[in-house]
A and B are shown apart, each in its own frame.
Chain A
Amino acid sequence: MGAGLVAIAREPIDVRAWEHALDDPRSGAIVAFEGRVRDHSDGRSVAGLSYEVYDALALREGERILAEARARFAITGAALVHRAGDLDIGDCAVWVGAAAAHRDAAFDACRYIIDEVKARLPVWKRERFVDGDAVWVGADGLPGCQAGASLSTMAAAVPDRASGHVSTATDDGR
């Protein structure tokens, strides 16, 4: 089992470098998920995002998620990096990679990690709209939350805000 790698990045994510971090002669498959900033949200035009992160807790929770993935799936390694700070449309917001001898475990682990990251990592997303408005995603529609002008425009829970693209590499098919 390879070690887990977790990072909070304040600079653009170097996806190539992160894939290399999973290099392992035992790996026949790497599955990676890359979440990117999309230009629209609930029909509104998005200008960009800002992520606020509780770094120390995010690193700890991230390590925990990777450890869970290693325990559940036959992977050789996994890595996770999440951006903090201001991002533009198209920027990589989160990158998750899982390496395994065979592709099934890599797919399953990658999916598990990104789902847990979105549910558990202490990261908060502020969407900036083209019209100048900005909202904390997920903070509106909560019981007791008296939404101010900046919070009132979102519908209730907004699930997946970053579009994803999944890529596989070097699956030897065995």
Chain B
Amino acid sequence: MSGPEAVARQVRARRAGALPSEGGPLYGLVLAGGKSRRMGRPKWALEYHGEAHALHLREMLTEHCELAFLSLRPDQAAEPGVAGVPLVVDAVEDLGPLGGILSAMRLHPGAAWLVLACDLPFVSHATLQHLLARRQRASLATAYRSPQDGLPEPLCAIYEPSALRRLEEAAGDGRRCPRKVLIDAGATLIDSLDARELTNANLPTEYELALASLARGDRMTQAKSVTIDYFAVLREARGEARETLETAAATAAELYEELRARHGFPLPRSVLRVAVNDDFVPWEHELRGGDRVSFIPPVAGG
């Protein structure tokens, strides 16, 4: 087993079909060192496709990269589930995802890294191929543009060796946000094929919704535009009475969980009702483009 300072173990020969390296090699990295506080159990070990998702994603990466590693905290390196898996153990602690990426780049400074968060249930080979086909090596990084806010998604992105210096600077200043680094560095941004593919699952409810969604086989659901009207406590939590956005949420429940995660709404779905186009609907109600949706906080008339 690797020590904390360590390290990569080479497992397998490069697979047929892996991209030929031009310049340095391309390595894969699955970030699995999160503390999963909101999920309440380790996100890396959640199963969406019959095995721990971090291992599933790492396997996927081996088809596109010369090597693929799992990024873990030092205290996770002895996990039985990761025996035999190439690891990058955090050399910088308490820097979150940035620390994981930085640790990998320090280990192999000549490599470019395709980085994936371990909480992306819908990432597919198509997601990775789409990103790789649009990779700009001259750019410091190539990343997906968030369909929600237009900003880079730093945890499904390719970091070129030139990104190392920027990440070191950020870490030196105690800046933990790789997204900010990508924004400041002018990373190349590309649009995703499907607004849902980069949806992550941070909460137990989001895990359940993702599982249900995968079971229905609808992960390529088309993005649609919906308008949300907020009232009372939720209006104040959002800071606006109305917003229109693109979502791949199939149901009203999925939309609320998506918005709750994004805006940090305090209210759980269990205390709310939902209305679509000015009438109450069940949470399983399927959304359509152009729908007006409202989440109804506990009422207090009279």
A residues with CB within 8 A of B: 35, 51-52, 54, 56-57, 60-61, 82, 93-94, 114, 117-126, 136-139, 142-146, 151, 158, 160-162
Contact = CB atoms under 8 A, between A and B. Distances in A.
Contact of B232 (A52, A145, A160): A52
Given A136-B232, A139-B232, A57 B294 contact: yes
A56 B277 CA distance: 9
Contacts of A136: 232-233, 236, 297, 300
Interface string B269-302: 0110001001110000000000000101111111
Q: Main secondary structure on chain A at its contact with chain B?
A: mixed
Given A124-B299, A138-B300, A162-B302, 9 more contacts: A57-B275, A60-B278, A82-B302, A124-B301, A125-B300, A136-B232, A139-B233, A145-B267, A158-B300
Contacts of B84: none
A57 B279 contact: yes
A145 B300 CA distance: 16
Contacts, number: 91
B268 interface: yes
Given A57-B294, A139-B297, A144-B267, A35 B302 contact: yes
A94 B270 contact: no
Nearest to A126: B232
Contacts of B229: 54
Contacts of B267: 142, 144-145
A137 B298 CA distance: 9
B3 interface: no
Contacts of B235: 52
Given A60-B278, A139-B233, A124 B271 contact: no
Interface in B159-203: none
Nearest to B296: A122
8 closest A-B pairs (Cβ-Cβ)? A123-B301, A124-B232, A56-B278, A137-B300, A118-B302, A138-B300, A125-B300, A144-B268
28 contacts: A52-B231, A52-B232, A57-B279, A57-B296, A60-B278, A60-B279, A61-B280, A93-B302, A94-B301, A117-B301, A117-B302, A118-B302, A123-B302, A124-B231, A124-B297, A124-B299, A125-B301, A136-B233, A136-B297, A136-B300, A138-B298, A139-B298, A142-B268, A143-B268, A144-B268, A146-B266, A161-B300, A161-B302
A62 to B, nearest CB: 10
A98 to B, nearest CB: 16
A123 B294 contact: no
B38 to A, nearest CB: 11
B276 to A, nearest CB: 10
Contacts of B301: 51, 82, 94, 117-118, 121, 123-125
B267 to A, nearest CB: 6
